[in-house]
Structure 1
Amino acid sequence: MTRTTRHSRLALAALAGTVLLGACGTPGSGDDNAPESVSIAIGEPAAPLVPGNTVEEYGSQILESLWTGLVEYDADGEVSYTGVADSIESEDSVTWTVALQDGWTFHDGTPVTAASFVDAWNYTAYSPNAQAGSYFFANIEGYGDLQAPTDDNGEPTGEPAATELTGLRVVDDLTFTVTLSAPFAQFPVTVGYNPFFPLPESFFDDPEAFGSRPIGNGPFRAAGDYVPGSGITLVAADGFAGAQAPAVEELEYRVYADPKTAYTDALAGNLDILPRVPAEMSEVAQQEFEGRYEETAASGFTFLGLPLYEERYADPRVRQALSMAIDRDAIAEHIFAGTREAADSVVPPVVGGHRDGACGYCALDVDRANDLLDEAGFDRTQPIELWFNAGGGNEAWVEALGNQLRTNLGVEYVLRGDLAPAEYGPLLFTQGMTGPFRMGWSMDYPSPHNFLEPLYSTQAQPPAGANTTFYSNPEFDALVAQGNEAASSEEAISFYNQAEDVLLEDMPIIPLFFDVTQSVHSGDVDDVVVDLFGRVDTTAVTLAG
């Protein structure tokens, strides 16, 4: 029997075998009049605050304060059974029985039950609801029947055959079963991710209103509506059933269109926590925030997606050539002041299953790059359009990358960085990119699986998932499936590594950097922890003094 229960812990090594206004105060003051409210900088979430539709960093940060899932992830990436689940068990890694703890409630006072999970998962999986996290339910029996038929352009041509997953069944108020379409030994590792969060019955009455003022079951509750361009205020939730109640009474999530403005506010003491220092401030942050600067390992992965639907980038030799024309080490040193590591694989070093040098096309080789471009018949007279979202501190490094392509390949470039995340995101998911586009990914759950299947499998093509290059290779899909079904960690890693090899030969994406997270905070707060996911642990934050 596969059995995972509350209080058990799974290390990363064992697991591998898983798209930013301030509290007043003078920096370093820590006086008795320090505010009860703690301000945290974020960017604009890409979608309303609904768990099944939130798969990017800013919305996820807010949701992590508002919800508690079946399992939780510690700051170091370990899985902890301190969430709603009392146990998750299976005899065959296909049918799983999930037993819940009694006593969990939503912020509206209603109980968290088995139906709270089952109804939420059905809603997210049902394609007409257009939830970005739908793909994460693709391995549950009956998922295909919840997807509307489509034409050759991916447009729906009818209604789905069903509205509920046959693989989900409520046994009683505190028990439900999940039947997968194939064995997946790591299933319990995945269910701490926010698309798996429960929803109260009130959500289904008005999903749109809920997205502005969400009702979760976590350590904080919404004190008002989310205001686009401004943010949302949360307060400590009464009667929170989790293991660690928050130490502060109020959180302000403040939206910053420009992270440099957030940095300036933090330096002036008008913002408490900046989870990610903008790249152009990397070199000076440690000195300017002496004693209030943290540098932590991260699972963040920055890469360029290639629009495979554009004829210009359909030949893998073009994609390989672009990759070999980039000097990642130079950009990491001169733009990021050493706070990024040149990527030579798609699985970060902090995740089990990482292999140094897995990407043979990630080393600078200008001669070979030019030969491949010539072999592919690439038109060098037309500029390469380099896409990135505005307000993310990306322009400096993308421009440096463009200069390298111009110098090494003799191809001009055009920067396309004028779109805010809310505009940039829809283009990614609707084949709207006309050139290489900046993408970032941080793990949702601690497994190499999370850096493969959700980003590159055929099933993860939009609108069901985050495969925004629209890559498809049956060999890759089959190897990932074999890894999912593996009975041991070692066997799973072997198949995942083989799938990565296929991917890195096809090169639908160009690996660039692995993150080291730089964060800074005011003197009014202590115990600021930014985890491997790049999120602030808001229950750990305390007031200084």
Structure 2
Amino acid sequence: MRTCRRVIDRAIPALSLIAALSVSGCGSTPEANQTVGNTLTVVTASPPQTLDPAKTAQNNSWLENLAYEPLIVRKSDGTLTPGLAESWSYEGTGNKTFVLKLRPGVTFSDGSPLSAQNVVDHLKYVVSSAGQMAPLLAGCTFTATDPATVTITSPAPNPDFPVMLTQDFIIGGVIGSGGLADPGALGTTTVGAGPYMLDPQQTVAGDHYTYVPNPHYYNAPAVRWRKVVIRVITTPQAVLNALKTGQADVAVGDPSTVAAAKQAGLTVASSLFLWNGVVLADRGGTLAKPLGDVRVRQALNFATDRAAIAKALFGGVGEPAHQVTVPGGYGYDDSLAAAYPYQLDKAKALLAEAGYGGGFTLAVVTPEYQQLHLVAQALAQQWKQIGVDLRITDYANANQYAADAFGGKFPAFMTAFGQIPIWMEGPSLFLPSAAFNPLKYADPALQSRYDEAASSTGDPKTAADRGVVAYLTTQAWFVPVVMTGLPYYARNTVGGIATSPKEPLLSLYEIVPAA
């Protein structure tokens, strides 16, 4: 997800991070006199390794959302509305059986029809592809109950199927049968039932991706642009310049340029949902023995002056973070709002107790987005005061960062991760199968808390979710540093730019030509 979104970024999913458009036909038909714009140009910060919805990272979701309409659409106010599915519901008790009723008359861009079996084949392909989101469907069975009904059966309680199958997590965007028959081609082509499809002739991989209307789209009046271009621009200042000079209409921004974007008269939309910081991945002490001791991990947290970093690098858009969530987010615990006050003496005492009074060297890898490389540099200066020598590998190329971070080559890595439901967060962030747990560290006590949260409902679930976050906090699996929102910038050439606490990711589905 960038480790945000994606997921998400997710490589930051949020992954991470992570990471649709106003076709939200996905349920709605616009007025007959609504304007259709010529070209919508949006900017993303990292090039995709693939366009395959089953394999891509969450932070590249925009490139999939244009072509692959999801089964369920999440609007900017957080409400869930029909996409390829007209309706959905759980059957029985325990949140184990989820049923989708498909929209009739839907055709993919290759001319093939949408069917329940097609959706089943798509979901099976997602699992077999072992991409970032595949763990969310691990162990599930998929059945075409009838030509328009899909039943998903989970081996364990799953309260989050409706959210999982929205555009935010990509895998709800169904691949047509033609694409599934030739999966190797999905890396560079699209076979979806969304409002647009990739035009390879107007696309240069890694630089820009051009989408044109899908002639088979079931709700043609909802297509509001004759062309959508997604440009890849990797440096924050260059992104801002592209909007200021009219080369782009919408972009994923960066905390370092928010003030300048506002000064330039751009619309800035952002809702708090990211925590930026360090994943202490080597909890078993395989690559960096000191990290195997909880006292060392806690010491790093106590040695972090979050307020200073928030002020210096995220002035006006960031707040100190102590938990892997945000206020009002899933599992947030008010009692842990300041779990690790800046206390160098406490940090030094913990290191001495663990046998590292003389300090140690720790390698960390970081990308150059969302200020993460600058946060790493600030931590290097702060942790030096307790004898920890932070050796930073800084990648401008997000794909290089993702390969090393998620490939288990470093004991620690920087991330910006978007808060998501705890049940979904486990397979993404902290369970042994999670991408953000590349060394596959398992903790039975954490697993027990996670299982309790997954099987609970109502107030008991809320309490159990807090128990998971509290355990991660006290065991110091991470060093959360700053909470931010993911800023989005837009020119006055467009409307529909909105986010909310329930949907902090900007949806391309709702972007329309300015009135």
Q: CA deviation at 1:380?
A: 4.4
Q: Report the equivalent of 2:233.
A: 256
Structure 2 counterpart of 1:432, from 409, 413, 421: 409
Code of the residue aligned with 1:61 in structure 2: it is: W
Q: Does 1:386 align with 2:364?
A: yes
Quote the Cα distance in structure 1 between the aligned partners of 2:147 and 2:514: 42
Q: Does 1:51 align with 2:59?
A: no
Q: Does 1:403 align with 2:404?
A: no
Q: Report the equivalent of 1:103.
A: 105
Q: CA deviation at 1:416?
A: 1.3
Q: CA deviation at 1:96?
A: 2.7
Q: CA deviation at 1:356?
A: 2.6
Code of the residue aligned with 2:498 in structure 1: it is: V
Q: Does 1:529 align with 2:498?
A: yes
Q: Report the equivalent of 2:321.
A: 343
Structure 2 vs 1, CA of residues 368 and 46 (structure 1 numbering), >3 Å: closer, same or farther? farther
Structure 1 counterpart of 2:450, from 459, 472, 480: 480
Q: Does 1:518 align with 2:483?
A: no
Code of the residue aligned with 2:181 in structure 1: it is: D
Runs of 4+ off more than 6 Å? none
Quote the Cα distance in structure 2 between the aligned partners of 1:82 and 1:130: 25
Code of the residue aligned with 1:70 in structure 2: it is: L
Q: Report the equivalent of 1:318.
A: 296
Q: Report the equivalent of 1:293.
A: 267
Q: CA deviation at 1:452?
A: 3.8
Q: CA deviation at 1:362?
A: 2.9
Determine helix, strand or coil for the equivalent of 1:249. strand
Code of the residue aligned with 1:349 in structure 2: it is: P
Code of the residue aligned with 1:468 in structure 2: it is: P
Q: Deviations over 1:408-444 (max 9, x none)?
A: x13333331135111111222221014x31112225x
Q: CA deviation at 1:254?
A: 0.4
Q: Report the equivalent of 2:511.
A: 541
Q: Report the equivalent of 2:397.
A: 420
Q: Report the equivalent of 2:24.
A: none
Q: CA deviation at 1:447?
A: 2.5
Code of the residue aligned with 1:480 in structure 2: it is: Y
Code of the residue aligned with 1:124 in structure 2: it is: V
Determine helix, strand or coil for the equivalent of 1:99. strand
Code of the residue aligned with 2:258 in structure 1: it is: S
Q: TM-score, normalised on structure 2?
A: 0.84
Quote the Cα distance in structure 1 between the aligned partners of 2:469 and 2:106: 40
Q: CA deviation at 1:234?
A: 1.1
Code of the residue aligned with 2:75 in structure 1: it is: D
RMSD: 2.7
Quote the Cα distance in structure 1 between the aligned partners of 2:86 and 2:340: 42
Query: What is the count of residue pairs matched by the alignment?
Result: 474
Determine helix, strand or coil for the equivalent of 2:405. helix
Q: Report the equivalent of 2:85.
A: 84
Q: CA deviation at 1:528?
A: 2.4
Determine helix, strand or coil for the equivalent of 1:121. helix
Quote the Cα distance in structure 1 between the aligned partners of 2:137 and 2:108: 23
Q: CA deviation at 1:359?
A: 6.1
Q: Which runs of 5+ in 2 are unaligned?
A: 1-16, 19-35
Give the percent of matched residue pairs that are identical in Structure 1 and Structure 2: 20
Q: Report the equivalent of 1:124.
A: 126
Determine helix, strand or coil for the equivalent of 1:110. coil
**Are the counterparts in 1 of residues 160 and 423 from structure 2 also a CA contact under 8 Å?**
no
Please list, as runs of the form range in 1=range in 2, the aligned pairs for 1:237-276 lying within 5 A after superposition.
237-241=214-218, 245-276=222-253
Code of the residue aligned with 2:440 in structure 1: it is: F
Quote the Cα distance in structure 2 between the aligned partners of 1:132 and 1:296: 25
Code of the residue aligned with 2:270 in structure 1: it is: T
Quote the Cα distance in structure 2 between the aligned partners of 1:360 and 1:377: 26
Q: Report the equivalent of 1:176.
A: 150
Determine helix, strand or coil for the equivalent of 1:326. coil
Q: Does 1:212 align with 2:188?
A: yes
Code of the residue aligned with 2:300 in structure 1: it is: L
Structure 1 counterpart of 2:430, from 434, 456, 461: 456
Q: Report the equivalent of 1:284.
A: 260
Q: CA deviation at 1:174?
A: 0.7
Q: Deviations over 1:336-386 (max 9, x none)?
A: 112112212222225344223436643212111111111112274654333
Please list, as runs of the form range in 1=range in 2, the aligned pairs for 1:324-363 lying within 5 A after superposition.
324-358=302-336, 361-363=339-341
Q: Deviations over 1:186-210 (max 9, x none)?
A: 3333222312332211223322221
Q: CA deviation at 1:232?
A: 0.6
Quote the Cα distance in structure 2 between the aligned partners of 1:183 and 1:317: 34
Code of the residue aligned with 1:172 in structure 2: it is: D
Q: Report the equivalent of 1:160.
A: none
Determine helix, strand or coil for the equivalent of 1:427. helix
**Are the counterparts in 1 of residues 62 and 508 from structure 2 also a CA contact under 8 Å?**
no
**Are the counterparts in 1 of residues 303 and 344 from structure 2 also a CA contact under 8 Å?**
yes
